[in-house]
Amino acid sequence: MQSVNRLLFGPTPEERIKTVQSQLRTEQRHLDREVRQLDAAAAKAKAEVKKLAKKGDVKSARILAREVVRSNKQKNRLTTSKAQLNSIGMQLQHQQAMFKVTGAMQKSTEIMKISNQLVKLPEISKVMREMGMEMTKAGIMEEMLEDTLDSGVLGEDEGLEEEADGEVDKVLFELTDGKLGQAASAGALPDLVGPEPVRAPQEEESEREDMERMQAALDGLLRG
């Protein structure tokens, strides 16, 4: 009889919740992996910034420092998203407990609110739409509005492309022990490391290519 009902009416609300909970755990693992990748790439970029600063290459150091700032913002966003996914999971556990008592799912404004925020994030937009449909069918939330689904990324994400120079200067200042950044945001590196040794053109070209590869790798992670 249960299989017949499933064929006619689809999964039960409890089954739909279990499906969503499984998707939530999967997405949290994905976000964890992205954070680890960002950390690894940012660590390499920070080390390269220090090397560039010692060589007096202020321009290249600032380029990589900007990528470090972007990666920090992205990491914060992913960490917040994971916490929000965890919050949805806890709300669903509460729904399951209430279902056993009342025999019906209750609509949750909190789940609706968090889902509307997360669906705007490019990293998890697609899966949030899928989970939103399941939770709507389970009777937990209202159907997402079309303008919410099509609204793109959060407004605050627009700042990821053009960070304030102050943030870049702060990173440079911290990574170079005050040689660059707040103490010297532009121009030549202060004469704190002695004269720069003469390098062959091939060596300079190789270093430039390494810096560009590192920048491209970080940019790829940030764009997903």
Rounded average pLDDT over 196-222: 63
| pLDDT level of residue 223 (50, 70, 90 thresholds) | low
Question: Smallest Cα–Cα separation from 144: which of 155, 132, 154?
Answer: 132
Question: Smallest Cα–Cα separation from 153: which of 95, 88, 73, 42?
Answer: 73
pLDDT tens digits, residue range 155-188?
Answer: 444 454 455 677 888 888 888 877 776 644 444 4
Q: Is the pTM of this model over 0.95?
A: no
pLDDT at 196 (0 to 100): 46
Rounded average pLDDT over 21-39: 95
Domains of the chain as residue ranges with CATH: 2-223 (1.20.1260)
- Percent of the chain at pLDDT exceeding 90: 26
